[in-house]
Structure 1
Amino acid sequence: MNDQTKEYKINDSANRITEIIHSEIGRNNIAGGFSDYGGIEIYGNLSFFAFTPNLGPLVKLNVSTANTNENGIESKLILKRINGITYKMHFWFTIIFVGLALIIAVYQLTEYGFDKAEFLIMPAFGMIYLLIVELIAGLKVSSLIKTVEKVMMTEKIKYKKL
Structure 2
Amino acid sequence: MNDTIAVKPAVTLIGVTTRTTNAQEAGANGLLSGLWDSYFTSGISERAQVNNGHLIYALYTDYESDASGAYTVLIGHERADAQAELPDGLEQATVPEAKFMVFKTKKGPVYEVVAQAWGEIWAFFEHSSIERTYGGDYELYDGRTFDPANAEVDIYIAIK
Task: Give the alignment's TM-score, normalised by structure 2.
Answer: 0.24
Structure ranking higher in strand proportion:
2
Task: Give the alignment's TM-score, normalised by structure 1.
Answer: 0.24
Greater Rg by CA: 1
Structure ranking higher in helix proportion:
1
